Amino acid sequence: MILRPQTRRRPLGFDMTPMIDVVLQLIIFFLFTSQLSQVMRSPIDLPEEKGDEGQVVSPGAIVIDVGADGSYLMEGQARTLEEVVRVVSLEQQHAEAVGETLDLLIRADRKGPAAHINMLATRLAGVGVRQWKLGTTSPPGGGP
Amino acid sequence: MKLSRRHHDLTDSGGLPMTSMIDVVFLLLIFFMVTVSASAPESDLASTLKPESKTEGAAADFQPQIVTVSRAGDAVVYTLGSHQLTTRAELARLLRELPKNSGVVVKVRNDVPVEAAAGALQTCKDVGFTKVSYVPAS
């Protein structure tokens, strides 16, 4: 009698472990990157106010940081007022062309004078941008 | 000649399963990155920039309230009509009595700190004004 060598057969079927690993990694990646835009914003001492309920800044919003010394930053890059206005104006034109509303967030140092915001707001109004939001941070105690 | 199968034996049966360990290490790494670097959540105050030019015609019947934020020494003064107020609580009390339909214009002078301007905007929102305009005061 010829005996056939026993071959160990692996059970057929899907191995779910790698798929679950990958799915978990993807979930964490997207959770992390969705927060990253806020975490990566340059540190600035914002006014401590609870803000406007229901207002949500879209991920594609234009963020302008205004320092206490009157410096303007966009995406971490120092810009002159003229450059800021030019960029916002182009974005405004693009938004109008595609039928969207420009989402503009101004983050200003709370100790700085309002003169810098006033100057920026006046120049923005000159190019037709009249809607914007002022960035605030939640008060430590949660109250006003 | 007999070739050694040591390498295959190690990976097939006896080796350390690195995949699971790397998965766990990555998860722990990401968890600590997210939890450590999470900053205070930001919010925002929506504001409309109102043009300085006057509107004409019958719109004068629906003039918005005007709150002027200025500075007197180290103190911030909120001016509403003939009232000069030094605290946000007083401003809120006065604003509550006013009609909300016409909105409110917050005029901010250049020497006022940003936090005072934000405070005035927040007070207007808190008392129920939905149309809040920001105007740089000359």
Per-residue pLDDT tens listing for chain B (138 residues): 555 554 444 455 566 777 777 888 888 888 777 776 556 666 777 766 554 444 444 444 567 889 999 998 889 999 998 999 999 999 999 999 988 888 899 999 999 999 999 999 999 999 988 888 999 987
* Shortest alpha-carbon distance between residue A88 and chain B (Å): 15
Q: Read off the pLDDT of residues A56-74 as tens digits, 9 standing for 90 and up.
A: 667 778 899 999 999 999 9
CB-based contacts of B57, cutoff 8 Å, min separation 6: none
Residue B77 and residue B33 share a domain: no
- What is residue B112's DSSP assignment? S
Cα–Cα distance, A68 to A114 (Å, whole number)? 9
Residue A102 has pLDDT above 80, yes or no: yes
User: What ipTM score was computed for the predicted complex, to two decimals?
Assistant: 0.71
pLDDT at A84: 94
Among residues B52, B31, B134, which one has the least CA distance to residue A52? B134
Residue B45 located in a structural domain: no
A144 — pLDDT class (breaks 50, 70, 90): very low
Residue B1 located in a structural domain: no
Q: Which residue of B has its CA nearest to A24?
A: B27
**Does domain A62-134 sit in CATH 3.30.420.270?**
yes
Q: What is the CATH number of the domain that holds B112?
A: 3.30.420.270
Residue B73 located in a structural domain: yes
Residue B67 located in a structural domain: yes
Q: What is the pTM of this model?
A: 0.69
Interchain proximity A52–B44, CB inside 8 Å:
yes
Q: Is B49 on the interface with A (CB under 8 A)?
A: yes
* Shortest alpha-carbon distance between residue B85 and chain A (Å): 18
Segments forming the whole domain that contains residue B92: 63-136
Interchain proximity A117–B137, CB inside 8 Å:
no
Q: Read off the pLDDT of residues A74-101 as tens digits, 9 standing for 90 and up.
A: 988 899 999 999 999 999 999 889 888 8
* Domain range annotation of chain A: 62-134
**Residue B74 CA from chain centroid, whole number:** 25
Interface test with A, best of B21, B28, B78, B115 (most A CBs within 10 A): B115
